[in-house]
Amino acid sequence: MTDRVVLAYSGGLDTSVAIGWIADATGAEVIAVAVDVGQGGEDLEVIRQRALDCGAVEAYVADARDEYAEEYCMPALKANGLYQDKYPLVSGLSRPVIVKHLVTAAREFGATTVAHGCTGKGNDQVRFEVGITSIAPELKCIAPVRDLALTRDKAIEYASRHQLPIETTKSNPFSIDQNVWGRAIETGFLEDIWNAPTKDIYNYTDDPAFPPVPDEVTISFEHGIPVAIDGEKVTPLQAIEILNRRAGAHGIGRIDIVEDRLVGIKSREVYEAPGAVTLIEAHRELENVTLEREQLRFKRGVEQKWGELVYDGMWSSPLKDSLDAFVNDTQEYVSGDVRMVLHGGRATVTGRKSETGLYDFNMATYDEGDAFDQSAARGFIEIYGLAAKQAAARAARVKG
Ligand code: ARG
């Protein structure tokens, strides 16, 4: 039987050419796999037909938007997943769901190998391949751009020679990856890290310098998950989409950082993630109200590690699973409402309400009704400060 390869197919020039390129180089039959993670753009059916027209023997298309929102973005929200304190892991989160569908398609169509369009310099190749080996160790991986010398120029030449039904003239100077959780823009003039991003690179957000009137929004959470916006019930996907629109109109969630890639390179990345950034801001504040102090402090450290693991392609790994168990446990009481004002590039919390919170008005108040026993503070401080006091006395004695 002829060998079969499943290819992660976007519908763009490189992966369209990769279909024939892989077949020519390996003699294998190619099955195109297109996964909708909310990247927008063309209809899945159009993409399916193009794959077949470019020589794929089969095309597998999946609308994974709800699955992606529920099983990938929501765990990231619960973990307040931000790599290097800023990047909401847009690409790092989408690769594992694409991997899952690649594996399903490989098994369905009897493929032995998975192919993807990544270069040899980025994180995404690692996420695909480590993701594949972690859930389907029997599958091999191949990357035509990296392993079969499929350059941009050769792709254009191949597409015109074979008259593939794909645009070869539209050259975008940037490498863009987008899904419902956000959008990543890299390369081109952004590689000079002193160059400011120009207005035209953004798509999910409007310029925050000219915002519309402030937009007040109330997000209701249950166990760390958004369940309603302004009192209207929403699914996780709807919550992200609505906030992408509303926060995007105020230019919220634009990020410009130099980040550490897994392969050891520092790279300049611009992101826009209005929904993700707004949800994480709201969720963190609700955690401030509902998590016990030590649990909250400890969780912030866990979150950093969680983000690094996901960034580094360890979505399916023992430590990530263990951290998920911890994170899920912390979300038991993370329920309630957060009110925010969206304006001028920021989502600012202005109110919070929770039936399961730990904020106690009578403990906190300086007014009538104070239930906190201030006289107990004196003794507490004396004992609490004892170790530091003794250390200071020792230093004075020894150093003089
Ligand atoms: N640097 C980001 C990451 O590793 C974004 C990658 C975007 N991918 C792309 N093919 N443009 O998560």
Q: What is the pLDDT of residues 358-380, one digit of tens each?
A: 999 999 999 988 999 999 999 99
Question: For the stretch 273-308, what's the b/e string if a residue is b when 16 or more beta carbons lie within 10 angstroms of its beta carbon?
Answer: bbbbbbbbbbbbbbbebbbeeeebeebeebbbebbb
For range 181-202, the mean pLDDT: 95
- For the segment 214-220, the average pLDDT, to the nearest whole number, is 98
Is residue 170 pLDDT above 80, yes or no? no
Mean per-residue pLDDT, 347-360: 98
On the question of pLDDT at 388 being above 90, the answer is yes
Q: How far is CA 321 from CA 91, 181, 309, in A?
A: 19, 21, 10
Of the given ranges (98-107, 210-219, 365-374), which has the lowest mean pLDDT?
365-374
Please identify which of the residues 24, 43, 63, 175 carries the catalytic annotation. Answer: 175
* pTM score above 0.75: yes
DSSP one-letter code for 63: E
Phi-psi label, residue 106: left if phi above 0, alpha if psi -120 to 50, beta otherwise:
alpha
Q: Residue 95 catalytic?
A: yes
Can you spell out the DSSP letters for 141-188? EE-HHHHS---HHHHHHHHHHTT-SS--S---SSEEEEETTEEEEESG
* 12 within ligand 1 shell (Cβ under 6 A): no
pLDDT at 172 over 90: no
Cα-to-centroid distance, 155 and ligand 1 (Å): 21
Cβ atoms 134, 104 nearer than 8 A: no
Angstrom distance (rounded) from CA 94 to CA 177: 10
List the structure tokens of 168: 């070869």
pLDDT class for 64, splitting at 50, 70, 90?
Answer: very high
64: helix, coil or strand?
coil
Kindly state the average pLDDT of the residues 59-82: 98
CA gap 320, 75 in Å, rounded: 11
**Residue 328 scores a pLDDT above 80:** yes
Q: How confident is the model at residue 5 (pLDDT cuts 50, 70, 90)?
A: very high
CA 174 to centroid of ligand 1, rounded, Å: 11
Cβ(175) – ligand 1 distance below 6 Å: yes
Q: Looking at the predicted structure, is the pLDDT value of residue 6 above 80?
A: yes
Ligand 1 touching residue 29 (CB < 6 A): no
Ligand 1 lined by 269 (C-beta under 6 Å) = yes
Q: Confirm if 336 and 343 have CB atoms less than 8 A apart.
A: no
Instruction: Quote the pLDDT of residue 400.
Output: 80
Greatest CA separation found in the chain?
Answer: 86
Q: Token pair for residue 99?
A: 């991997």
Q: Which residues of 51-77 are buried (b: 16+ CB within 10 A; e: fewer)?
A: beebbbbbbbbbebbebbbeebbbbbb
Q: CA–CA separation, 1 vs 32, rounded Å? A: 19
Ligand 1 centroid–CA 125 distance in Å is: 10
Tokens 């955690």 identify what position?
287
| Nearest residue to 166 via CA among 325, 15, 318 | 15
Residues 309, 316: Cα–Cα separation, whole Å: 9
Domains in the chain: ranges and CATH: 4-173 (3.40.50.620), 176-353 (3.90.1260.10), 361-399 (1.20.5.470)
Whether 297 is catalytic is no
- pLDDT class of 173 with cuts at 50, 70, 90: confident
How confident is the model at residue 1, as a pLDDT?
A: 82
Cβ-proximal residues to 368 (8 Å cutoff; 6+ apart), any chain: none
The predicted pLDDT at position 28 comes to 98
User: What are the tens digits of pLDDT across the range 36-57?
Assistant: 999 999 999 999 999 999 999 9
Other CB atoms closer than 10 Å to residue 38's CB: what's the count? 21
| Residue whose CA lies nearest to ligand 1 atom number 3 | 91
Task: Tell me if residue 175 is catalytic.
Answer: yes
Residues 5 and 212: their CA atoms lie apart, in Å, by 49
Burial grade of 174 (CB within 10 A; 0-12, 13-18, 19 or more): middle
Question: DSSP letter at 268?
Answer: E
How far apart are the C-alpha atoms of 40 and 179, rounded to whole Å? Answer: 7
Instruction: Using pLDDT thresholds of 50, 70 and 90, give the confidence band for residue 61.
Output: very high
Paired sense of beta strands 346-353 and 336-343, if any = antiparallel
